[in-house]
Amino acid sequence: MRCKLIVSDLDGTLLDKQQAIPKHTKDLIAEFQSGGGLFSIATGRMEMSVAKYIKELAITVPIILYNGAKIVHPGKALALREHTLDCGIARTVLGLVKRYPWDVLLYQNQSLYVEKGTDVIRRYAAKDGVNWQEVGDLLAFLEGAPTKLLIIGDDRGFSGFVEECVRACGRMINTVRSERSYLEVLPDNVSKGKALLELCSILGVKPSQTVALGDHLNDLSMIQAAGLGVAVANAHEYLKQQAGYVTTGEDTDGVAEVIEMVLTDNLPLDLAR
């Protein structure tokens, strides 16, 4: 196999609508791993949210969390790479967002904090399988450097809000859209793509020997950094335009489709040896 490393997004890519990994996909991942291939994930999720999937897939190589802000060794719960938001910058963003009717989630030290438990927060926590702590005013609560902020709300206001943040913070933040109603505020120079390159360095794998799969705009940098960047059939249209390959069929398991190509050396791109 010319592909040494496969990295997949979770939501909308590896996971089905029931937040599960299809058995056929799990079997193919195991076959890829047994042949010496390395399989990892790159997600906006936090540690507690991915634990069951790491166990299911027997992943032993480092994983990318928080949309690239952390690279974690799954067996040792050890952060191999970690980037955090400057506390002052995070406080500025929290101050600006108060003018909007959005829910804000603060991630820090492997914990999730919210001002109050709303229906939106409860749905998010149920989907991602996470616990959260209600702390009142996040701006008053915050001390130290958080990993990221997640804003959930009407996406029609996101562009204007991002412009406000850039004017107030300069270029010291990076913002990505991981779902239509999700806006994530990350440390500057953090992305899944940069984390993929860091992961390759850790594993001693050339980026040209990797395949990366995703479905939304937060996956764009990753599919551009990989030897072959794949957009699944249900992906955002712009991601499909930028991908080297788009999986077929709305009901087809795109990850399984690509792994089958890897196992038979039948990829649409000649990866470097």
List the domains of the chain with CATH numbers: 5-82+191-263 (3.40.50.1000), 87-187 (3.30.1240.10)
Q: If we measure between CA atoms, which residue out of 14, 23, 21 comes closest to residue 41?
A: 14
Report the distance separating Cα 217 and Cα 238, nearest Å: 8
Q: What angle do CA 60, 132, 108 make, to 5 degrees?
A: 65
Q: Are 10 and 50 in contact (CB under 8 A)?
A: yes
Q: What angle do CA 131, 137, 141 make, to 5 degrees?
A: 75
Residue 122 makes CB contacts below 8 A (sequence gap 6+) with none
Report the distance separating Cα 232 and Cα 11, nearest Å: 11
* pTM score, whole prediction: 0.94
DSSP 195: H
- How many Cβ atoms sit within 10 Å of the Cβ of residue 173? 24
Residue 237 makes CB contacts below 8 A (sequence gap 6+) with none
Q: Show pLDDT as tens, one digit a residue, over the chain (273 residues).
A: 789 999 999 999 999 989 999 999 999 999 999 999 999 999 999 999 999 999 999 999 999 999 999 999 997 778 999 999 999 999 999 999 999 999 999 999 999 999 999 999 999 999 999 999 999 999 999 999 999 999 999 989 999 999 999 999 987 899 999 888 999 999 999 999 999 999 999 999 999 999 999 999 999 999 999 999 999 999 999 999 999 999 986 556 899 999 999 999 888 776 654
Q: Which amino acid is at 20?
A: A
